[in-house]
Structure 1
Amino acid sequence: MRNQNTKPHAIVTGILCRSAASFTRFLGTRAESLLAALRRVRLQSDQSNLSDLSDLSDKIAAPPPDRVLAFRLTAARYHG
């Protein structure tokens, strides 16, 4: 039996806040990876006077495959 003091909008707000926090952590992780990769490339270019940064995409960490798959499955479920 549901607590009579709990309002439905409070439940929805709680769910949205937890989802937003998870998504923010995910974005933060990606942003940190990107910044770290750019710092490594900058240090490398400073040390070796690297003129060609064509391998930059190799140095940027891709999202973990399980998170990509989870995002695609969620998107397919809602847009399906």
Structure 2
Amino acid sequence: MMQIVVDFNDTYVPITLNQELTLMTFMAPQKIGTDQELLIKIEPQGNPFLPNVFNLDFGPPDIETVVARARGRRV
């Protein structure tokens, strides 16, 4: 099982950030000593029974392709 820990005292400077504050890229240090560009995308869940619930997509910059494939859509 993967465990995600959010530490608001350990933050990264955005490379890109849209006006709505729902899409951001940043450089994340890797264990091997390099940096990797990552993307965060926040969007409403879209379920009327879950108001004010959001999806948080987190991953490589081509996340749109990754998310579409995971949801069974053609890219």
Q: Structures share a fold, TM > 0.5?
A: no
Aligning the two structures, in what range does the TM-score lie when normalised by the shorter sequence? under 0.3
Task: Please identify the structure whose Cα radius of gyration is greater.
Answer: 1
Question: Which is strand-richer, 1 or 2?
Answer: 2
